Structure 1
Amino acid sequence: MSYQAYLDALEAKTGRTPRELLDQAHERGFGPTSRAADVVAWLRDDYGVGRGHAMAFYGVLKNGSSISDAHVGSTGTHRDASTELHLDGVAAREPNSR
C-alpha cells in the first residue's frame, strides 16, 4: 500500500481528512516531538484505527506532507505518484490525480 493509500484509507475509516486529523492532533497537544505510541493510542481509541494507518499519520505529524522519493515512479503496490502527500481529502483531488 502506498503512503497516500494509507492516508486515504485513514480518511475512509475516520470520516476526517488527514488535515482535519492534524488539526485535532494539534488541539490535543500532539506534534513532531510526540511519542508515536501516544498518537497510535489516540487514533485507536477514538477511531478504531490500526497501527499501520496510525503510523502513516504519525509520519505526517512528525515530518510534514513531503515524503522520500524512494517509491515515486517505482512499480508495485507501494508506489506513490509524488513526494507531496494530499492532506485535504480524496474529494478535494482532481479525478485524474488519484
Structure 2
Amino acid sequence: MSFQAYLDAAEQKTGRTPQELVDLATARGFGPGTSAGPILDWLKEDHGLGRGHGMALVHVITKGPAIGGAHVGSTGSHRDESAVLRLDGIAARAGDAR
C-alpha cells in the first residue's frame, strides 16, 4: 500500500482529511522532533487508527508531505504517483487529471 493510500484510508476511517489530522496533531503539540509512540497512541485512542495508517500520518506530522523518491513511479505495491503527498483529502482530487 502506498503512503497516499494509507492517508486516504485513514481519511475514510476517521472522516477527517490528512491535513485536518495534522492540524489536530499540531494543536496537541506534536510535530518535528516528536517520537512516533505518542502520536500513534493518540491516533489509536482518539481516532481508532492502527499502526500502518498511523505511521503514514506520523511521517506527515513530523516531516511534512514530501516522501523519498524510491517508490515514486515504481511498479511495486508501495509505489506513489508523486514525491509530495496530498493532504487536502480525497474529494479535492476528484476532478484532478493526475
If the TM-score is normalised by the length of the shorter chain, which range does it land in?
over 0.9
Contact 2:69–2:83 at 8 Å: present in 1 too?
yes
1:34 and 1:63 map into 2 onto residues whose CA distance is 10
Count of residue correspondences: 97
Distance 1:96 1:40 in 2: 33
Residue-by-residue CA offset, 1:65-93 (whole Å, 9 max, x unaligned): 11111001110321100001000000001
Distance 1:11 1:38 in 2: 20
How far apart, CA to CA, are the structure 2 residues paired with 1:35 and 1:20? 20
Asked if residue 32 in structure 1 is aligned to residue 48 in structure 2, the reply is no
- Structure 1 unmatched runs, 5+: none
Structure 1 segments of 4+ aligned residues over 3 angstroms from their partners: none
Q: Counterparts of 1:1-98 in structure 2 under 5 Å?
A: 1-93=1-93, 94-97=95-98
Cα RMSD between the aligned structures? 1.0
- Once the two structures are overlaid, the 10-residue window that deviates more, 87-96 or 45-54, is 87-96
Among all aligned residue pairs of Structure 1 and Structure 2, give the percentage whose two residues are the same amino acid.
58
Letter of the 1:22 partner, please give it.
Answer: V
TM-score for both structures, normalised by structure 1: 0.94
Q: Which amino acid aligns with 1:49?
A: L
Specify the code of the residue in structure 2 equivalent to 1:13.
K
Note the residue ranges of structure 2 that are not aligned, 5 or more in a row: none
Q: Aligned AA for 1:71?
A: H
